[in-house]
Amino acid sequence: MIKIGGIRVPMREEPVQKRIKNFRSVPLGYTKKEAVAEAQRCILCMNAPCVVHCPVRMDVLGMVRKIAERYFKEAFLKIKEDNPIPAVAGRVCPQETQCECVCPLGQTGDGNGINIGKLEAFVADWAMENGVKEEFRIEERPEKVAVIGSGPSGISCAVDLRKFGYRVTVFEALHMAGGVLRYGIPAFRLPRNILDYEISTLTERGVQIKINRIVGQNVEFRDLRQEFDAIFIGTGAGAPRFMKIEGERLKGVYSANEFLIRINLMKAYDFPEYDTPIVCGERVGVIGAGNVTMDAARCALRLGAKDVHILYRRTKKESPARDEEIQHALEEGIVLHELINPTRLLGDENGWVKEVNLIRMKLGEPDSSGRPRPIPIEGSEFTMKLDTVVEAIGTEPNRLFLDRTPELETTRWGTIKVDEDLMSNIEGVFAGGDAITGGATVILALGDGRRAAKSIHEYISRRKE
């Protein structure tokens, strides 16, 4: 019996005391019965605001409807038309500010719209477990396209180019594919077997992924331009920003990127089984309040830290992190300190960080980000004892590739300049994802990759005429 509306089917989660000791997934996923019950709450709006508010207009309504009817295969195929990595997107997309927040059920019952992200993850996991794959016939074409970077933008561009029939080679600097999904987002949010599986669907379709290839270092950009008919640059924004305060060079002070790469990519939590160590103390401070901050703080806890403090210059309300990530961090005992900002890091006689000087802040008028500007309160300085500090205050595109390709036009923020078709100033060279926007979201990067693939197809087809 279909039950429209009502209360959201809760997601079962790993209990707090258990989960803070391991890197296993915190949400345990819907069962078939739960997924169907959740999907059957959908009132099937005519105007589908959930689709309209998805940055890539995924047919989430179509997917939810098929789950409600227990047609899991059809639900999976529907979502796969728009999204090459639904198991990933279902887990990490900020649905609460996109498709879910406009669901009319959010205004009634328990105030929760349809749990679209968890349904998307359910149906993608179901397909993986049951060996259900998207079927498409590839009409091979002779032209070759190079994709630089294997993050979400590179993945989605490569998949769509392959569907058009191109011979696609992805060049990835690191020793594993996935970009931030691999080295940034921890396994307790995105289990690695899920990521591996979704990436394997690319290679099965004939996309070649070459790892340990740093374009601009051990692969020349000009060689790619000669060998390939078009190029997509999806190199992300992986270079950390720093606060530029005294003491940042002390031992025990990390950028979030380094901290997370050591843990997620190099498996430092399993040292000496793996080669890369990490030193994480008992009192950890993480500066910032975005998803990266939450990930670093929750990783520190799992590495054995006793107290983990988030130091944020605005308030929780202005935090750019996903609601679920903040909620999980707080449940796990991480303390979010609002309206404070570090001014200096102090070290001991051996050069290890031992405390941080902070100043209290108040909120002023909105700044260029649209959020209230944090203003220091004179005379409010105080100190906090910390033995590890992680800075998670944002990232920007890595200069390595850009400095070696001076012919590529960039903006004053170091992002690659593109036109409305995502073509750069160099003919046949396209770009997308964080490389053009600065640090953004997985779904926007996916959307750019798809748009660029379409533009590349049009560009190559035009050239042939």
Site pattern 304..323 for ligand FAD (x: CB under 6 A):
------------------x-
Based on the shown chain and the rule CB under 6 A, indicate whether residue 289 belongs to the binding site for ligand FAD.
no
Decide the pairing of beta strands 144-148 and 239-240: unpaired
Indicate the residue among 66 and 91 with the shorter CB distance to ligand FAD.
91
Strand partners, 221: none
Q: How far is the CB of 157 from ligand FAD (least distance, A)?
A: 9
> Contact region for ligand FAD (CB under 6 A) — 145-153, 244-252, 279-287, 343-351?
145-153
The 3-state secondary structure of 242-298 reads CCCCECCCCECEEEHHHHHHHHHHCCHHHCCCCCCCCCCCCEEEEECCCHHHHHHHH
Distance from chain centroid for Cα 195: 12
| DSSP structure string for 398-436 | -HHHHHH-TTS-B-TTSPBP--TTSB-SSTTEEE-THHH
We find the least distance from the C-beta atom of residue 256 to ligand FAD, in angstroms, to be 7
CA-CA distance, 265 to 357, in Å (whole number)?
32
Minimum Å gap between C-beta 404 and ligand FAD is 8
| SS3 at position 133 | coil
- Closer CB to ligand FAD, residue 112 or residue 153? 153
Residue 239 near ligand FAD by CB under 6 A: no
Q: Binding of ligand FAD at residue 151 (CB under 6 A)?
A: yes
Secondary structure (3-state) at 139: coil
Q: Which two tokens stand for residue 438?
A: 């600065």
The structure tokens listed for 290 are 């975005």
SS3 382: strand
Among positions 25, 95, 153, 319, the unique one binding ligand FAD when judged by CB under 6 A: 153
By CB under 6 A, name the one of 86, 238, 252, 288 that touches ligand FAD.
238
Q: Looking at 126-134, 207-215, 297-305, 373-381, which segment touches ligand FAD (CB under 6 A)?
A: 207-215
How far apart, in Å, are the Cα atoms of 77 and each of 60, 126, 382, 423? Answer: 12, 12, 56, 30
C-alpha dist (Å) from residue 103 to 12, 120, 310: 22, 16, 32
Number of residues that bind ligand FAD (CB under 6 A): 43
Contact code string over 248-287 relative to ligand FAD, x by CB under 6 A: ------------x---------------------------
Please report whether residue 154 would count as binding ligand FAD according to CB under 6 A. Answer: yes
For the chain, the first-to-last Cα distance in angstroms comes to 56
Q: How far is the CB of 412 from ligand FAD (least distance, A)?
A: 19
Q: Which is nearer to ligand FAD, 218 or 461 (CB)?
A: 218
Of residues 151 and 342, the one with the C-beta less far from ligand FAD: 151
Q: What does residue 209 show for φ and ψ, rounded to 5 degrees?
A: -110, 120
277 CB-side CA count, 13 A: 5
What is the per-residue binding string for ligand FAD in 397-436, x denoting contact by CB under 6 A? Answer: -x-xx-------------------------------xxx-
Site string for ligand FAD, 101-140 (x = CB under 6 A): ----------------------------------------
Which of 184, 240, 247, 342 is the binder for ligand FAD (CB under 6 A)? Answer: 184
Opening angle at CA 158, ends 154 and 159, nearest 5: 120
Name the minimum Å distance from CB 443 to ligand FAD.
6
Contact 60, 120 (CB under 8 A): yes
Q: How far is the CB of 378 from ligand FAD (least distance, A)?
A: 34
Question: Quick check: 160 binds ligand FAD (CB under 6 A)?
Answer: no
Q: Tell me which residues in 366-385 interact with ligand FAD (CB under 6 A).
A: none
- From 28-36, 65-73, 209-217, 269-277, give the range in contact with ligand FAD by CB under 6 A: 209-217
Decide if residue 214 touches ligand FAD (CB under 6 A): yes
Alpha carbon of 445 to those of 21, 72, 338, 349: distances in Å? 32, 27, 30, 45
Rounded CA separation 105/64 (Å): 14
Q: Does residue number 150 form part of the binding site for ligand FAD (CB under 6 A)? A: yes
Q: Burial of 366 by CB count in 10 Å (0-12 exposed, 13-18 middle, 19+ buried)?
A: exposed
Distance in Å, CB of 399 to ligand FAD, minimum: 10
* Under rule CB under 6 A, residue 149 binds ligand FAD: yes
Residues of this chain, 84-103, that bind ligand FAD according to CB under 6 A: 92-94
For residues 170 and 206, give the distance between their C-alpha atoms in angstroms, rounded to a whole number.
11
Q: What is the binding site for ligand FAD (CB under 6 A)?
A: 92-94, 148-154, 171-174, 179-180, 184-185, 213-216, 234-236, 238, 260, 291-292, 295, 322, 398, 400-401, 433-435, 439-443, 445
